[in-house]
């Protein structure tokens, strides 16, 4: 019960962070960084509704379409965040009806928006939630057009950013396009950077010592493969271990002390799905 409450508190905080980033950084500078809120900022110039009201309209419409097209793939968390974002924006519009740019510079506002949205999106991702909006469009495109979700979000976001040309000057359009691209990079960094690990492949004459260090000191696992050298045709055993940032530093230091001639290759791993093993005593 405690964990469930904590989960929803974190989702709420993350959603509020996203909503505040939109209101305090994107809206005052009229930046249309790809998303439903960005499109709403553009449309607010042509329809007599507030940005929060237009965002609510789009999110509710997309929720209905999502229920009809995605069915069980559509979660209650997405419903909650989709409705909470425009609600928070509406409250802020009432408190700060004539808010001006906090920084006085549209480019700085764009960077600030991307940074805070990256934090909020990472928190949502870690709780298996999303902010709705274009995520729903991307899932529909993935299901029916077989597009990758990341590509679908990027294309839809770019279309929204370019749409700002109908309401603002070319400088705002360029900042919106750059912001959409930067936002994608930062979200990926916040999301995958928090879970990224290293895949370390080691061939060494001290294979037994290294294996024991990984198991007993790092308390991690490893996989052993038989390998044959093409040059000398000798048989080796290759150690492959998946380690986090802290374990990686310890392992590299140990290798430097134990076998400076070890052959090591290193790869970035975005995430690992596995069932933890308990070592037998």
How confident is the model over 174-186, as pLDDT tens digits?
999 998 888 877 7
The per-residue pLDDT for 56 is 94
The per-residue pLDDT for 3 is 80
pLDDT tier at 43, thresholds 50, 70, 90: very high
The per-residue pLDDT for 280 is 55
Radius of gyration of the chain (CA): 24
**CA–CA distance, 212 with 233 (Å, rounded to integer):** 26
Query: Please, what are the domains in the chain?
Result: 2-193 (no CATH), 197-269 (3.30.70.120)
Query: How big is the CA angle at 66 (ends 189 and 32), to the nearest 5 degrees?
Result: 50
The per-residue pLDDT for 279 is 52
Place of tokens 């305090």: 24
User: Side-chain half-sphere of 151: how many Cα atoms within 13 Å?
Assistant: 6
**CA–CA distance, 124 with 81 (Å, rounded to integer):** 9
Of 183, 150, 191, which Cα lies nearest the Cα of 31?
Answer: 183
Does 138 score more than 70 pLDDT? Answer: yes
Cβ-count burial 19-42 (b if 16+ within 10 Å, e if not): bbbbbbbbbbbbbbbbbbbbbbbb
pLDDT tier at 32, thresholds 50, 70, 90: confident
Between 21-35, 55-69, 236-250, 266-280, the lowest mean confidence (pLDDT) is in 266-280
pLDDT tier at 167, thresholds 50, 70, 90: confident
pLDDT digits (tens, 9 = 90+) for 224-235: 999 888 888 888
Residue pair 151/83 in contact (Cβ under 8 Å)? The answer is no
Q: Which residue has the higher pLDDT, 183 or 276?
A: 183
pLDDT tier at 149, thresholds 50, 70, 90: low
Predicted model pTM:
0.69
Query: What interhelical angle do 76-95 and 2-21 show, nearest 10?
Result: 50
| Mean pLDDT of the region 132-137 | 76
For 25-122, list the strands marked E by DSSP. none
The per-residue pLDDT for 277 is 58
Q: Which residue has the higher pLDDT, 275 or 160?
A: 160
| Mean pLDDT of the region 242-246 | 84
Considering the chain, what percentage of its residues have pLDDT values greater than 70?
91
Of 272, 273, 271, which Cα lies nearest the Cα of 192?
Answer: 271
Considering the chain, what percentage of its residues have pLDDT values greater than 90?
37
Residue pair 134/34 in contact (Cβ under 8 Å)? The answer is yes
Kind plus residue range of the DSSP H or E element containing 239: strand 235-243
| Mean pLDDT of the region 198-203 | 93
Torsion angles phi and psi, residue 154, rounded to 5? -65, -45
**CA–CA distance, 249 with 216 (Å, rounded to integer):** 16
Query: How big is the CA angle at 104 (ends 98 and 106), to the nearest 5 degrees?
Result: 100
The per-residue pLDDT for 4 is 83
The per-residue pLDDT for 85 is 93
The per-residue pLDDT for 265 is 94
The per-residue pLDDT for 18 is 92
The per-residue pLDDT for 84 is 93
The per-residue pLDDT for 195 is 63
Between 16-20, 65-69, 73-77, the lowest mean confidence (pLDDT) is in 73-77
**CA–CA distance, 217 with 134 (Å, rounded to integer):** 45
DSSP, collapsed to helix, strand or coil, labels residue 199 as strand
| Mean pLDDT of the region 83-103 | 92
**CA–CA distance, 179 with 105 (Å, rounded to integer):** 14
DSSP, collapsed to helix, strand or coil, labels residue 148 as coil
**CA–CA distance, 172 with 41 (Å, rounded to integer):** 12
Q: Which two tokens stand for residue 217?
A: 């000191």
**CA–CA distance, 220 with 195 (Å, rounded to integer):** 16
């Amino acid at each position: 019960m405690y964990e469930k409450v904590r989960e929803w508190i974190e989702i709420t905080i993350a959603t509020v962070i996203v909503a505040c980033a939109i209101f305090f950084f994107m809206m005052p500078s009229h930046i249309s960084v790809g998303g439903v809120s960005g499109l709403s900022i553009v449309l607010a110039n042509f329809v007599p509704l507030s940005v929060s009201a237009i965002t609510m309209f789009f999110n509710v419409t997309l929720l209905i379409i999502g229920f009809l097209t995605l069915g069980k793939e559509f979660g209650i968390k997405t419903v909650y965040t989709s409705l909470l974002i425009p609600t928070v924006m509406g409250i802020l519009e009432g408190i700060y009806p004539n808010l001006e740019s906090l920084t006085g510079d549209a480019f700085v506002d764009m960077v600030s928006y991307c940074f805070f949205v990256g934090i909020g999106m990472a928190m949502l991702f870690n709780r298996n939630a999303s902010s709705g909006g274009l995520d729903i469009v991307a899932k529909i495109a993935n299901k029916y057009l077989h597009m990758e979700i990341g590509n679908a979000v990027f294309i839809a976001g770019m279309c929204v950013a370019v749409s700002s040309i109908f309401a603002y000057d070319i400088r705002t359009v360029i900042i919106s396009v750059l912001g959409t691209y930067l936002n994608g990079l930062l979200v990926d960094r916040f999301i995958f950077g928090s879970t990224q690990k290293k895949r370390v492949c080691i061939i060494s004459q001290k294979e037994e010592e290294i294996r024991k260090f990984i198991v007993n000191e790092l308390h991690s696992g490893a996989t052993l493969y038989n390998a044959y050298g093409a040059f000398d045709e000798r048989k080796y055993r290759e150690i492959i271990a998946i380690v986090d940032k802290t374990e990686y530093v310890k392992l590299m230091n140990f290798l430097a002390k134990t076998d400076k001639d070890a052959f090591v290759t290193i790869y970035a791993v975005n995430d690992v799905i596995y069932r933890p093993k308990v070592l037998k005593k």
